[in-house]
Amino acid sequence: MRTVIPQRFESIPDGATKVFEGVIFDVYQWPQELFDGTTKTFEMLKRPDTVKIIAVKNGKIVILEEQQPRTKQFYSLPGGRHDISTETERHAAERELLEETGMQFAQWKLLRATRPHVKIDWIVYIFLATDFMTQVSPELDGGEKIILTLKTLDEIREINARADRHDLGDCILDRVHSIQELIDLPAYHG
């Protein structure tokens, strides 16, 4: 369930017809009246929203060395799909972090909610998790190989300069100079 929506977010209009249902992406179409009075068929994709987590443990950031089928190893923040309709964005983030890392944190703050593509009804939420509580064994799905690492901000900047990074490129971590500055960032409210 979406509780935070970015400003200027336009979702698929009421009355649009789902013309294709995929595993991740659905395609919607609708008749759109143009400025000259004519009508054209417009189209948008829809997919489950995504949560990413910047988790701080022992003054470092939790980074995954990850591999999925048909990919080479890459670096990423923990995260995944917000695909359970009864979950809030935060609950999805807590679940994904627990599944991928086994970690639980006491403090959570939404730092950003963005729409990566205009033609896709999709929001990416970035959360900050602090005050590490406990760690259990992760519950990876069959399509994930994950090695858990803790990196400094400088190490993350070095990774960002490499080709084998993923989900770290346009990140809040590039704009802060210390863990304390990261923790002090204001919460995002939409």
What single string gives the DSSP state of each residue in 91-152? HHHHHHHHHHH-EEEEEEEEEEEE-S-TTEE--EEEEEEEEEEEE------TT-EEEEEEE-
Degrees (nearest 5) of the Cα angle 23, 26, 27? 145
Whether pLDDT at 92 is above 70? yes
Q: Pull the structure tokens for residue 102.
A: 């086994």
Per the prediction, the chain carries an average pLDDT of 93
Locate tokens 């009508």: which residue? 39
Whole-number pLDDT of residue 46: 98
Note whether residue 120 is domain-resident: yes
Cβ-Cβ contacts under 8 Å for 102 (sequence gap 6 or more): 135, 136, 137, 138, 139
pLDDT digits (tens, 9 = 90+) for 47-84: 999 999 999 999 999 999 998 888 888 889 999 999 99
Q: Are residues 111 and 162 in the same domain?
A: yes
- Measured CA to CA, the distance from residue 169 to residue 156 in angstroms comes to 10
Domain of residue 123, residue span? 50-184
Residue 169's CATH number: 3.90.79.10
Note whether residue 170 is domain-resident: yes
Q: Are residues 39 and 68 in the same domain?
A: no
pLDDT digits (tens, 9 = 90+) for 135-156: 999 998 888 899 999 999 999 9
What's the domain count of the chain?
2
Note whether residue 70 is domain-resident: yes
Note whether residue 11 is domain-resident: no
Tell me the CA end-to-end span of the chain in Å, nearest whole number: 15
Note whether residue 108 is domain-resident: yes
Tell me phi and psi for residue 6, to 5 degrees: -60, 155
Q: What is the SS3 assignment for 56?
A: strand
- Kind and range of the H or E run holding 53: strand 49-57
Q: Are residues 101 and 62 in the same domain?
A: yes
Q: Are residues 34 and 84 in the same domain?
A: no
- Measured CA to CA, the distance from residue 148 to residue 129 in angstroms comes to 16
